């Protein structure tokens, strides 16, 4: 069929010639067979619209260059097709062309352009509305995170004035984690179009732990360690509130972001980022300065060590979760947190009992327990964890993290009016350094690329403005000269 076989078995140019029509009757095998038709192309007058349509090929330029153009066309046929069966003069081989009718007037084309512009503007308006909605929800989430975290910290401080039992308070608040999955299922029933039973939803979420679901082995190997880390994180944080003021506790706990980066870099082999190393150094420097602010007293040193230990346990919890379990969906995260509550009820309950009978955490009667403070603290902590885990569904994760660092000034204002805290220069600098390190850790991984693009765009815009300004200055005298010349036309 006009395909020349070459040594090696594969027809040369077969894959390139796909889609090219070949006439079954006439199959020229030499360039001399099609040279008359090629010579006729020399006298072809090419319209400007067709030239624009054929910009992808230099054949239009070759047609007007005499015999050299014809030779280049012949060479192109040889090179592209690999055989001489392609007949470019056949009408059946012509690709579809645009109509050659003259374009309509601008008034006729305006509605189509307006319609296209309207679609683009509606798309931009929809995009901007979605972004504005996400930012609005982000502000609401930030305020909720800030209020719940600062409120739980201040309420815990007040609770210890009447009920000096940080571990019992930790145990009581962790029991409320059992409500995560019931609350998630209630939201699933209200929002989801395909409603499932509790058993079906539970089985589907249990796939997060493996093909066998939640077995006893999985419970003790993948859930129990995180239950211990959860309890240690909250207990060390609450015990530190007894030793130092809530402002120092909240700002020092922000260092957990730096610890997460260091552990992820070492354990998970995450990408190295110099700006995050700088943030980690700032966090460590802030811890040292915070210790120096109170003169290295034993009371403050113990409190700072407890907060740093709490931040370390929180970072270890997050890194191990990513290492062992990966990422979880909303239902899977809710089920996991409810399992932590069950673990706390079954295996941690004995510890507050032991502490009570050994009078380490002792209270005279159950009537003296401030149940309102305990329940309020538990509700605020539950709200904080719910918003922090599920707020990503409505806003950006970076905005949620801002709520934690914004709780520092809130606690500072409350401490200023309710306690005898002294905001000396060293403490203020330490708070600023730790806050700056926290904000640096919120930068995305591609922040340097985005910054370079932004600077490049600004430079290009400045150059364009300079060129436009020069063009305006250059055209000014010329226009004056044109206006100043007398007209001799009668």
What is the pLDDT at residue 400?
A: 80
pLDDT in tens, 366-380: 888 899 999 999 999
pLDDT in tens, 91-141: 444 434 434 343 433 333 333 444 444 444 455 555 577 778 778 888 888
Query: Whole-prediction pTM value?
Result: 0.67
Query: Where does the pLDDT of residue 338 fall: very low under 50, low under 70, confident under 90, or very high at 90 and above?
Result: very high
**Residue 387 and residue 379: Cα distance in Å, rounded?**
12
pLDDT in tens, 255-286: 988 899 889 888 888 777 788 888 888 888 88
| Helix, strand and coil in the chain, % to nearest 5 | 75, 0, 25
What is the pLDDT at residue 66?
A: 45
Query: Where does the pLDDT of residue 45 fall: very low under 50, low under 70, confident under 90, or very high at 90 and above?
Result: low
Q: Is 407 helix (H, G, I), strand (E, B) or coil?
A: helix
**By CB neighbour count within 10 A (0-12 exposed, 13-18 middle, 19+ buried), where does 179 fall?**
middle
Query: What contacts 50, CB < 8 A, 6 or more positions away?
Result: 60, 97, 100
Residue boundaries of the structural domains of the chain? 129-448
**Maximum separation of any 2 CA atoms in the chain, in Å:** 119
Question: Are 412 and 248 within 8 A, CB to CB?
Answer: no
Lowest-confidence pick of 18-27, 198-207, 325-334, 467-476: 18-27
pLDDT in tens, 467-488: 777 665 555 555 444 444 444 4
What is the pLDDT at residue 111?
A: 37
245 alpha carbon, distance to own chain's centre: 35
pLDDT in tens, 170-184: 999 999 999 999 999
Q: What angle do CA 301, 307, 312 make, to 5 degrees?
A: 120
Q: Is 452 helix (H, G, I), strand (E, B) or coil?
A: helix
Across the strands, what pairs with 86? 22
What is the pLDDT at residue 96?
A: 40
pLDDT at 164 over 70: yes
Q: What angle do CA 304, 377, 183 make, to 5 degrees?
A: 120
Residue 244: closest CA among 297, 170, 168, 312:
297
What is the pLDDT at residue 131?
A: 76
Place of tokens 């150059």: 463
Q: Is 418 helix (H, G, I), strand (E, B) or coil?
A: helix
In 10 A of CB 182, how many CB atoms?
A: 12
What is the pLDDT at residue 174?
A: 95
Lowest-confidence pick of 10-24, 61-75, 178-192: 10-24
**Residue 279 and residue 276: Cα distance in Å, rounded?**
5
Average pLDDT, the chain: 75
Question: In sequence order, which ranges of 198-349 are alpha helices (DSSP H)?
Answer: 198-206, 216-218, 224-243, 246-253, 256-267, 274-293, 298-324, 330-343
Question: Are 203 and 213 within 8 A, CB to CB?
Answer: yes
Question: Are 406 and 146 within 8 A, CB to CB?
Answer: yes
**Residue 315 and residue 155: Cα distance in Å, rounded?**
24
Across the strands, what pairs with 22? 86
Question: Are 28 and 84 within 8 A, CB to CB?
Answer: yes
What is the pLDDT at residue 37?
A: 59
pLDDT in tens, 188-229: 888 877 888 888 999 999 988 888 888 999 999 989 999 999
What is the pLDDT at residue 126?
A: 54
Query: What contacts 411, CB < 8 A, 6 or more positions away?
Result: 150, 153, 154, 246, 247, 249, 250
Task: Give the pair of three-digit tokens for residue 110.
Answer: 């305006």
Query: Where does the pLDDT of residue 317 fall: very low under 50, low under 70, confident under 90, or very high at 90 and above?
Result: very high
Question: Are 434 and 251 within 8 A, CB to CB?
Answer: yes
Q: Is 86 helix (H, G, I), strand (E, B) or coil?
A: strand
């Amino acid at each position: 069929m006009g395909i020349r076989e070459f040594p090696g078995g594969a027809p040369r140019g077969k894959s390139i010639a796909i889609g090219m029509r070949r006439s079954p009757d006439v199959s020229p095998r030499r360039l001399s067979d099609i040279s008359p038709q090629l010579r006729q192309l020399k006298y072809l007058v090419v319209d400007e619209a067709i030239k624009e349509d054929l910009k992808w090929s230099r054949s239009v330029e070759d047609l007007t260059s005499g015999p050299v153009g014809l030779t280049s066309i012949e060479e192109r046929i040889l090179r592209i097709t690999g055989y001489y069966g392609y007949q470019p003069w056949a009408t059946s081989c012509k690709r579809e062309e645009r109509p050659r009718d003259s374009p309509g007037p601008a008034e006729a084309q305006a509605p189509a352009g307006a319609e296209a512009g309207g679609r683009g503007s509606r798309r931009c308006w929809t995009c901007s509305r979605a972004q504005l909605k996400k930012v609005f929800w982000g502000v609401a989430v930030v305020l909720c995170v800030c209020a719940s975290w600062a409120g739980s910290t201040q309420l815990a401080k007040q609770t210890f004035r009447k009920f000096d039992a940080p571990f019992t308070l930790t145990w009581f608040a962790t029991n409320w984690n059992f409500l995560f999955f019931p609350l998630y299922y209630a939201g699933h029933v209200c929002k989801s179009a395909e409603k499932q039973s509790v058993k079906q939803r539970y089985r589907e979420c249990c796939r997060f732990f493996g093909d066998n679901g939640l077995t006893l082995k999985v419970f003790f190997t993948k859930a129990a360690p995180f239950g211990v880390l959860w309890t240690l994180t909250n207990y060390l944080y609450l015990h530190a509130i007894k030793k130092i003021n809530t402002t120092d506790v909240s700002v020092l706990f922000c260092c957990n972001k730096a610890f997460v980066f260091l552990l992820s870099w070492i354990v998970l082999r995450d990408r190295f980022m110099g700006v995050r190393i700088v943030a980690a150094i700032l966090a460590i420097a802030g811890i040292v300065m915070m210790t120096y602010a109170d003169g290295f007293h034993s009371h403050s040193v113990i409190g700072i060590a407890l907060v740093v230990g709490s931040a370390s346990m929180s970072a270890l919890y997050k890194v191990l979760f990513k290492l062992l379990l990966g990422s979880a969906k909303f239902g899977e995260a809710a089920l996991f947190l409810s399992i932590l509550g069950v673990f706390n009820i079954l295996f941690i309950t004995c510890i507050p009992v032991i502490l009570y009978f050994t009078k380490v955490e002792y209270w005279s009667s159950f009537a003296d327990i401030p149940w309102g403070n305990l329940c309020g603290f538990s509700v605020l902590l539950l709200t904080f964890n719910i918003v922090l885990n599920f707020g990503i569904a409505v806003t950006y994760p970076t905005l949620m993290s801002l709520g934690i660092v914004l709780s520092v000034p809130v606690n500072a204002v409350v401490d200023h009016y309710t306690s005898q805290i002294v905001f000396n220069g060293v403490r203020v600098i330490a708070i600023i350094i730790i806050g700056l390190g926290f904000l640096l850790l919120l930068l995305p991984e591609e922040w340097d690329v985005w910054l370079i693009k932004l600077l490049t765009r600004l430079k290009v815009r400045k150059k364009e403005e300079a060129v436009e300004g020069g063009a305006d200055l250059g055209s000014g005298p010329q226009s004056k000269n044109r206006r100043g010349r007398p007209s001799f036309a009668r």
